[in-house]
Amino acid sequence: MSEFTVNFIDQKKSVRVKAGTDILSAAAKAGIVLNASCGGDGLCGKCKVIIKKGKVKAEASRLVSEDDKKRGIVLACGTIAEGDLEVMIPSESLESREKMKHDAEEFTKGVVLKEETRFSRSPLVRKIYLELSGPSADDTTSDLERIYEALSAKLDGTLVSTKLANVKHLGEMLRDNEFKATAVVAHKDGALEILALEPGDTSASNLGFAFDIGTTTVVGQLVDVNTGDVLSSRIAFNKQAQYGSDVITRIVYASEGGGLEKLYEAVMDNINEIIEDIAKECKIEPGDIYGAVLAGNMTMMHLLLRIDPSSIRRAPYVPTTTVFPSINSAELGLEINPKGIVAFLPGVASYVGGDIISGLIACGLYRNEGLALLADIGTNGEIVLGNKDWMMGAAASAGPAFEGSGLSFGMKAVKGAIDRVAIDEKLVVKAGTIGNEKAKGICGSGYIDLLCQMLKRRIIEKDGKINRTLSSPRIRKNENNHEFVVAFKDESSIGRDIVITEDDIENLKRSKGAIYSAIISLLNKVDKDISEVKKMYIAGGFGNYLNIENAIAIGLLPDAKRDVYEFIGNSSLAGARMSLLSHDAFVKANEIFKNVTYVDLSSEPAYMDEYIAALFFPHTDSRRFPSAR
């Protein structure tokens, strides 16, 4: 078989590939990570490259405009090298460190929750300053015993242990520093362990990381454990997406030779880049950080810990484990202090993971007297219904649309994202962006507003089709169907019109239908009506803003009384942060996950009926949405 050279000219990298290799794979081979949130299925249109020289065979795609074609733009995933090539990569196609850093700086702190103050401040990792009296002829206690005794006095007699590495040079360290040292103590397996002993008093600075590992996005936060303040937050698209946009494709990929390792490396890369970027921004040393708490869905946790996830996708869908032992940071590959500790939130079942348990801790649903519901609107939408006595959890495969992936101009909830939209009678669009910058794209909350406003102005009909009879320069035909211009070129910072297409609307319709029908199916399962739900917590990666009224208007959320709703932002991240700050919260998570009964909606025939009926704005049964009438 013949081979060709693909030269990525602006990256100064070139690679030999076999005939028939697509450019996306060639780039990966050259160590260049292209944006491909659909995993190379030709659906997201984010891996555009420019063929400068050479022969290729490119699949036609609706995501490449006529204009693009003239400029030699193709989708890397759908283009096969048929000779030696010179390829240029536009910056928007690169998921580079630089670009991520830029994006990540802009992520918000998130919503501050009442629950966060409920738990006592007993962090995962504590720094305890010790001033010991030195040994003498009368006091011949060994150095380590001396530390244990001092700690024991400060920790109400709890047993403490440590590792040999901390002991070897202990004597010298104590003597050099007048027996003044700081013990870094962590909760592990129900006991306390000295992770490290630092000379002098370092207890003033105690930092930790909280992470939410999502199928589509990875979010990390640096937290000052002493004050509870969030110092910085970053968000990035999960790099595993290059191997598949959903958990099932990734599980399949993991079972291929070396697949699990690659998926692990991809997400660790995300995590470590976030750590590095935040450390740089906050001018701290990652080596000074000893604790991290991670929350993620079951597949993400398996992949991160390199546990074979294959049983998750096979009936009866049982994961290898739902609880994950706390481990050493070096063992995980987390680039904080190698002696540090990483804890993981436990999950319930294959499709109801630690992210939703984390969410339960964050919203406090498990303490509610009345019936309450938590809906986490993510790629794997997860829903828990219950109260202090019982809880039921279910999952809905909603897809990444509300996280800004798989849509023509979808993006994360970061600066420059349109997150709120109003359209007046003359169809003039007023769009607000995060950070009040020029628009780059549209994030989940922006799409919710947009759909609602388009429905209101009859720009789309209830089936999501754009009304061709309206005359407005914003409504126009594209290659396949119709699109609506949200921001014209001069209002955007990307030099192009920002539009929503009928395909995008279809995609969003399926996502919202999946979430809504999962909520209703779970309620039906326990024979409850939406009117009986006293509290509804809505979580998701929407940044700081989600218009509940509009989410109801498009049929994403049930038409319940407005005062039962509470938007709680990224609750998975919030729960991880709370577990970092309070071991009590972590313990609580490890108690309550056992109380959640898993309901497998895919085996409920009624779920499919519910889902199909929800593929309309707001719903085919208009009686369920009286306020839309």
Partner 1 sequence: MAIELIKEKYTGPINTVEIGAGQGMVKLGGETALPFLFREGDMPNKPLIALEVQDCEPSDWADPVRDAFGDAVKDPVKWAKKCVSEFGAKILCVRLQSAHPDFGNGSIDASVERLKAIAKEVKVPLIVIGCGDDDKDNELLPKASQAMKGSNCLFGIATQANYKTLTATCLADGHSIIADSPIDVNIAKQLNILMADMGFDQKRIVMHPTTTSLGYGMEYVYSIMERARLAAFIGDASLAMPFILFVGQETWKVKEAKEFGEKQGINWEIATAAAMVQAGADIQVLRHPRSAVSITKYIDKLMER
Binding site for partner 1 (CB under 8 A): 461-463, 469, 612-613, 615-616, 620-623
Rounded CA gap, 304 and 547, in Å? 34
Residues in contact with 469: Cβ distance below 8 Å, sequence separation at least 6, in sequence order: none
Which tokens sit at 110? 């998130």
Nearest distance, CB of residue 613 and partner 1, angstroms: 5
Give the shortest CB-601-to-partner 1 separation in angstroms.
18
Q: How far apart are CA 191 and CA 554, in angstroms?
A: 50
Q: Which is nearer to partner 1, 22 or 610 (CB)?
A: 610
Nearer to partner 1, 328 or 481 (CB): 481
β-strand 85-88 against 48-53: which pairing, if any? antiparallel
For residue 31, which amino acid is it? G
- Whose tokens are 């759908």? That residue is 78
Q: Does residue 554 sit in helix, strand or coil?
A: coil
If the CB atoms of residues 253 and 617 are measured against partner 1, the closer one turns out to be: 617
Q: How far apart are CB 469 and partner 1 at their closest, in Å?
A: 7
C-alpha 313/C-alpha 319 separation (Å) is 9
Question: Which residue's entry shows tokens 């405009």?
Answer: 65
Work out how close the CB of 622 gets to partner 1 at its nearest, in angstroms, rounded to a whole number: 7
Q: What angle do CA 361, 362, 364 make, to 5 degrees?
A: 60
Least Cβ distance, residue 507 to partner 1 (angstroms): 18
Shortest distance (Å) from residue 460 CB to partner 1: 11
Q: Which is nearer to partner 1, 12 or 623 (CB)?
A: 623
SS3 197: strand
Whichever of 584 and 604 has its CB closer to partner 1, that residue is 604
At its nearest, how many Å lie between partner 1 and the CB of residue 550?
19
DSSP letters, 569-598, are: E-HHHHHHHHHHHBHHHHHHHHHHGGGEEE
The strand pairing partners of 377, in sequence order, are 540
State the Cα–Cα distance between residues 212 and 234, nearest whole angstrom. 11
Residue type at position 516: Y
C-alpha to C-alpha distance for 299 and 250, rounded to whole angstroms: 9
The two tokens of residue 539 are 């979580």
Q: Which is nearer to partner 1, 94 or 530 (CB)?
A: 530
- Both structure tokens of 295: 């929350």
Euclidean distance between CA atoms 260 and 558, whole angstroms: 39
Identify which of residues 424 and 461 has a Cβ nearer to partner 1 in the complex. 461
d(CA 575, CA 531): 28
Q: How far is the CB of 612 from partner 1 (least distance, A)?
A: 5
Distance CA 584, CA 107 (A): 28
State the minimum distance, in angstroms, from the CB of residue 402 to partner 1: 22
Q: Which residue has the tokens 């396949």?
A: 480
Cβ-based nearer residue to partner 1, 284 or 628: 628
Q: What are phi and psi of 141, to 5 degrees?
A: -60, 140
CB of 292 to partner 1, least distance (A): 46
Q: Nearest distance from residue 463's CB to partner 1, in Å? A: 6
**Extended beta strands in 297-338, E state:** 327-328
- Pick the closer one to partner 1 by CB: 318 or 612: 612
When the beta carbons of 461 and 479 are compared against partner 1, the nearer one is 461
β pairing state of 56-58 and 73-75 = unpaired
Which lies closer to partner 1 via its Cβ, residue 606 or residue 612?
612
Instruction: Find the shortest distance in angstroms from Cβ 423 to partner 1.
Output: 18
Structure tokens at 117: 């103050």
Pairing relationship of beta strands 125-131 and 56-58 according to DSSP bridges: unpaired
Cα dihedral sign, 615-384-596-228: positive
| CA-based nearest residue to 234, from 202, 192, 290, 280 | 280
- State which residue, 168 or 465, has the beta carbon closest to partner 1: 465
